[in-house]
Amino acid sequence: MKPMKTALIGCGAIAGNHLTAIGKIPGVEPVALCDAIPERAEAAKKKYAPTAAIYTDYKKMLDEARPDAVHIATPHYLHCEMACEALARLSRKTGLYLRRGNRPHDRSRAEQPGEAHGLFSKSI
């Protein structure tokens, strides 16, 4: 079976938790990491995902890495835009994980494209 390709946007304080969890799931591969501050993405790559590609532009990452699942771990105000961009590029098997705390009206806006594709998107 082909590995599930995951990508992470935001390599700050909580990113290590995500990448540690991803690393424990058989068949799941972190293929790309993005942070606006490249040193943060580099540090996460070195520690958790040595084969992952590094990006500072998350849209470029989504277009090039074509992940099956996207973890969004950026500040709240960016969640909606990033979720919509991820969902707009998704295939039917794409998953989306949003860190908790995004505003309810943004959350429902981000869920609309997912529902249109018959997908499940969830904010925890």
Smallest separation (angstroms) from ligand NAD to the CB of 12: 2
Residue 45 binding ligand NAD, by CB under 6 A: no
C-alpha to C-alpha distances, 9 to 16, 21, 86, nearest whole angstrom:
12, 15, 10
Residue 76 binding ligand NAD, by CB under 6 A: yes
The interface region with ligand NAD, picked from 3-11, 22-30, 62-70, 86-94 by CB under 6 A, is 3-11
| Interface mask toward ligand NAD for 87-106; x: CB under 6 A | ------------xxx-----
